[in-house]
Amino acid sequence: MPAAVRSRSNLRSALDKRLSGASHLRVVPQPHVARPAPFLKWVGGKGKLLPSLRPLMPEGKFRYAEPFLGGGAVFFDLRAEDRLEHALLCDVGRDLVGACRVVRDQLPDLLTRLHAHEAHYLGENEENRALYFYAVRNRHPADFPMDDVERAARMLFLNRTCFNGLWRENRAGRFNAPHGRYANPGIVQSDKLHAASIALQGVDIRQADFRALPELVQEQKIEFVYLDPPYHPLSTTSSFNAYSGGQFSGKAQGELADVCRRLDRQGVRFLLSNSDCGYVRELYRGFEVGTIRAARSINCKAESRGDIDEVVVRNYSN
């Protein structure tokens, strides 16, 4: 089992020691560490919903799991508030999980590779930037073996330079979002990555399907789980939910509700968010179901973008 999550100041000095021991650093020492926050742009990220979600969380400190990590907005917020005794973070996305681990364990090397991408990209005109983007996108790790750091740098570079920061994979698990044409995409976010790396020290990060959650929760004595699955679509054209090689089906939503019932029987508190529709409400009948207001931006029809209610389900009350 991984070591318990250490306090922020301990983490910072541990990381500083590790960083100062490396000879090939391109990390500039930070005068202060920024509040940790997601270092990836992530569709469905909960950053803007934190003010509505915070009051719904259990009070005090807890052993925490987040099985649909994405950009990790809720994890980073709880970590910044020093609420976590221990943290287990999972997602099915191979590149996402790999990038989080590299940010945790190999930040100096990652920054070096990101600087190289940045130098190539920013030194080109618009047309050649697009060519560089597609060259990196087409160099898929399945065909071109690459180490974890190179793979993570590829993901972060594509995430910053693609259209809308959309990490979307086709059925074969290949990232396929188009080039974004941003004048200054911020490819190397040293401060953000440094803060995230510190926040991730001692955290267990796994590539896992949500169906593995009950066993992991039991093994690691988890007390509170926040679940943010891909939204159940409100219509056939709404709600992007193809993060990792395929849609998150209605059947998967049903299996997730079974997992939540199992957590409940295990005596573990859970908070889940999803789109507000009859199907989701029906799946969680018997639990406390409320709504919060969410801005939805990934929608096929521009006119149907905008604020919308999101359902929140809990098996406890404060």
118-137: which residues touch ligand SAM (CB under 6 A)? none
Please name which of 53, 76, 42 lies closest in space to residue 271, comparing C-alpha atoms: 53
Please name which of 76, 105, 100 lies closest in space to residue 90, comparing C-alpha atoms: 100
- Residue among 128 and 218 whose Cβ is closer to ligand SAM: 218
Select from 50-58, 64-72, 281-289, 303-311 the region that touches ligand SAM (CB under 6 A).
Answer: 64-72
271-310: which residues touch ligand SAM (CB under 6 A)? none
First to last CA, the chain: 30
CB atoms within 10 A of CB 256: 24
Select from 11-19, 20-28, 36-44, 51-59 the region that touches ligand SAM (CB under 6 A).
Answer: 36-44
- Residue among 27 and 260 whose Cβ is closer to ligand SAM: 260
* Edge-to-edge strand ranges of the sheet holding 288-296: 204-207, 84-91, 62-66, 224-227, 269-275, 306-314, 288-296
- DSSP-derived letter for residue 178 is P
Helix or strand or coil: residue 162?
strand
Closest separation in Å from C-beta 33 to ligand SAM: 21
- Residue among 67 and 202 whose Cβ is closer to ligand SAM: 67
| Near ligand SAM by CB under 6 A: residue from 27, 33, 39, 45 | 45
- In whole angstroms, what is the distance from residue 186 CA to residue 19 CA? 22
Q: Does 180 bind ligand SAM (CB under 6 A)?
A: no
Closest separation in Å from C-beta 93 to ligand SAM: 4
Binding site residues, ligand SAM, CB under 6 A: 38, 42, 44-46, 67-68, 70-74, 91-93, 209-210, 228-230, 243-244, 248
